């Protein structure tokens, strides 16, 4: 066994194993410490991701609720607009009918006025012609008798 202590290979092997033991002892803390640190960061990231997921879920629920509310409000708004459009349409139809009625009344009044003016104009012409006839009749007695016999029965036809 003495020979073992004198043998340089023995001492190289002892040194080698000592260095390895020191590296393992000192390095294991560093490796384990960085592994634990990495595990802690991953755990923190998982917890953070879980919180973000929960917040996103809450936001999704809120947005869906707002969407449903907006859809309902839109339905109400559309129905109100439809009702207002119907009311406006009815008002426009009523105003149009009233305008047509007023136009018909004005047209009838214009026609009646034109008829009255035409009748007045015809009366003037008839009166002028009658006046001329009377002048002719008074000027020529024989001709006057013929005119009276022929014209007077026809005057009653003109009234019809």
Q: How many CB atoms lie within 10 A of CB 118?
A: 10
* 73 falls within a domain: no
Residue 157 confidence (pLDDT): 55
State the total domains in the chain: 1
Does residue 23 lie within any of the structural domains?
yes
d(CA 52, CA 57): 8
pLDDT(147) > 70: no
Residue 95 lies in a domain: no
pLDDT band at 40 (very low <50, low <70, confident <90, very high): confident
Residue 34 in domain: yes
pTM above 0.85, yes or no: no
The reported pLDDT for the residue numbered 86 is: 95
pLDDT score for 148: 67
Distance, CA of 156 to CA of 120 (rounded, Å): 18
Query: In this predicted model, what pLDDT tens digit does every residue of 93-123 receive, in sequence order?
Result: 999 999 999 999 999 999 999 999 998 888 8
153 part of a folded domain: no
Please report the pLDDT score of residue 39 as a whole number: 86
Between 72 and 21, name the one with better pLDDT: 72
Q: What is the pLDDT of residue 53?
A: 94
What is residue 52's predicted lDDT score, i.e. its pLDDT? 95
Q: How far, in Å, CA of 6 to CA of 26, rounded?
A: 30
**What does the block give as tokens for 18?**
């000592």
Q: Say if CB 147 and CB 137 are below 8 A apart.
A: yes
Digit-coded pLDDT (tens) for 48-61: 999 999 999 999 99
| Residue 17 is assigned to a structural domain of this protein | yes
Q: In this structure, is residue 22 part of a structural domain?
A: yes
In a domain, 145, yes or no: no
Q: Which domain holds residue 27?
A: 10-42
């Amino acid at each position: 066994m003495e020979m073992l202590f004198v043998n340089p290979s023995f001492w190289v092997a002892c040194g080698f194993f000592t260095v390895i033991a020191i590296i393992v002892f000192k390095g294991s803390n560093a490796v384990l410490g960085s592994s634990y640190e990495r595990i802690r960061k991953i755990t923190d990231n998982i917890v953070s991701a879980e919180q973000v997921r929960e917040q996103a879920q809450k936001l999704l629920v809120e947005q869906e609720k707002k969407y449903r509310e907006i859809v309902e409000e839109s339905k109400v708004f559309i129905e109100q607009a439809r009702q207002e459009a119907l009311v406006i349409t009815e008002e426009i139809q009523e105003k149009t009918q009233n305008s047509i009625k007023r136009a018909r009344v004005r047209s009838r009044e214009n026609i009646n006025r034109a008829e009255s003016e035409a009748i007045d104009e015809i009366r003037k012409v008839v009166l002028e012609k009658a006046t001329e006839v009377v002048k002719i009749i008074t000027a020529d007695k024989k001709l006057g008798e013929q005119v009276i016999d022929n014209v007077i029965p026809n005057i009653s036809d003109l009234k019809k």
